[in-house]
Homo-oligomer: A and B are copies of this chain.
Amino acid sequence: MNTIDVLKNRRSIRSYKKDQIDSNDLQKILEAGTYAPTGMNRQSPVIVVIQDKATIEKLSKINAKIMNSDTDPFYGAPTLIVVFADSNCSTYIEDGSLVIGNLLNAAASLGIGSCWIHRAKETFFTDEGKALMKKWGLGENYIGIGNCILGYADKQYETKPRKDGYIIMADEL
């Protein structure tokens, strides 16, 4: 599939098989993530990869609590990536978002399902979240931009229609 088709056909996957994803594919996805553009090439983001079930469960519970839910916000995905970015860089939210975008698209190109899950910021403002960041060597200047779950899709998803007026062709002045 060419890249345009990958970008158009990628879908957010919310149902996963239990199998762990191929480790070579994971490395390709991560590397693609690091090549996302960042403001002034400051490379403000950091990508944390979690495959330990207990850690994923812990983060799932914190995330669910933030939205007053008792479901698993990570939909049982076997790999959880958290992208942080250094808030000392003014472009940190955009930088981190582009890294996640590359992870999602790289995964799609390899037949691996993915979904951006929000509330990373709030998760790593909690005491439990801060303790994990410390364990990973991340100072408090790093802010959670988003979670990216990865796994093999357990279900097919239709592409939803795009809204009217998404693209505006500007006239002359």
A135 to B36, CA, bound (A): 33
CB distance from A51 to the nearest CB of B (A): 8
Inter-subunit contact A167/B118 (CB<8 Å): no
Interface membership of A35, Cβ < 8 A = yes
Q: For the complex formed, measure the closest distance between the CB of A127 and the CB atoms of chain B, giving whole angstroms.
A: 15
Q: What is the minimal beta-carbon distance from A99 to any residue of chain B, in angstroms? A: 9
Residue of chain B at shortest CB distance from A104: B37
* Stoichiometry, copies per complex: 2
Q: What residues of B have a CB within 8 angstroms of the CB of A171 in the complex?
A: 52, 135
If A7-B32, A37-B116, A110-B4 touch, whether A47 touches B168 (CB-CB below 8 Å) is yes
Q: Show 22 residue pairs from A and B whose CB-CB distance is below 8 angstroms, ordered by the A residue.
A: A3-B106, A7-B35, A7-B102, A8-B35, A34-B166, A35-B162, A36-B101, A37-B104, A37-B116, A45-B166, A46-B165, A50-B170, A52-B171, A54-B172, A91-B118, A94-B146, A98-B100, A101-B102, A102-B105, A105-B105, A135-B171, A138-B168
